[in-house]
Amino acid sequence: MNLILVGYRGCGKTTVGEILARKMGWQFVDLDDLIARKAGKTIAEIFATEGEEGFRRREREACEQLRKSKNQVIALGGGTLMDPEARALIKRVGKVVWLRAPAAVLWSRISKDASSAANRPNLTAEGGLPEVEKLLMQREPIYQSAAVHIVESVTDTPEMIAEAIEMWFGANDSEAG
């Protein structure tokens, strides 16, 4: 079993995921980092040289690779679940937890993160808050349908969010076992 964290960029998947993995004694995997390492390029460079379709192909391949994994906390890229094939793969990899936050909060976090702009391209012509609002509107129904648990990632600290997920998982894991 694995825990898969989904949500829009800036929701806290990596920060919470690293804390959660440490608390559970599991390995943490950031799907975007896995893709970038394997490609030998940043995500922005992959988008620039291969386009979004090339990146999504690499993303599906990485999801397929994760099928064999166990006891991992996996942070997906914000758009991973938009691909039906990747979504089907991920649902077989583990339990999906959506870290939810409103567009304005996400944009505030993204705009304060210097590495985000350097490593992640805009996905629409608008960029900025309008892009976040537009993509979030498209992605939220998919996150909702894939998630078995939803956590608001606005007011609690990453440590509190990780603890809440660990408690939820422990309660649900014992019910299933």
Contact 8, 102 (CB under 8 A): no
**Total-model pTM:** 0.89
pLDDT reported for residue 111: 84
Mean pLDDT over all residues of the chain? 89
Q: What mean pLDDT is predicted for residues 25-54?
A: 93
* Confidence check: pLDDT of 154 > 70: yes
CA trace torsion 21, 26, 27, 31 (10° rounding): -60
The helix (H) or strand (E) run that includes residue 98 is strand 95-100
**What is the C-alpha to C-alpha distance for residues 60 and 18, in angstroms, rounded to an integer?**
22
End-to-end CA gap in the chain: 12
* Residue 60's pLDDT band (cuts 50, 70, 90): very high
Contact 63, 80 (CB under 8 A): yes
Pairing outcome for strands 149-152 and 95-100: parallel
pLDDT reported for residue 90: 92
Choice between 30 and 172, residue whose per-residue pLDDT is larger = 30
Determine what percent of the chain is predicted with pLDDT higher than 70.
89
pLDDT reported for residue 119: 58
| 3-state helix vs strand vs coil in the chain, percent to 5 | 65, 10, 25
Choice between 52 and 145, residue whose per-residue pLDDT is larger = 145
Q: Which domains are delineated in the chain? A: 3-171 (3.40.50.300)
pLDDT in tens, 66-115: 888 899 999 999 999 999 999 999 989 999 999 999 999 999 988 887 66
Core vs surface per residue 99-109: b (16+ CB within 10 A) or e:
bbbebebbbeb
Beta-bridge partners for 30: 75
Q: What mean pLDDT is predicted for residues 126-148?
A: 91
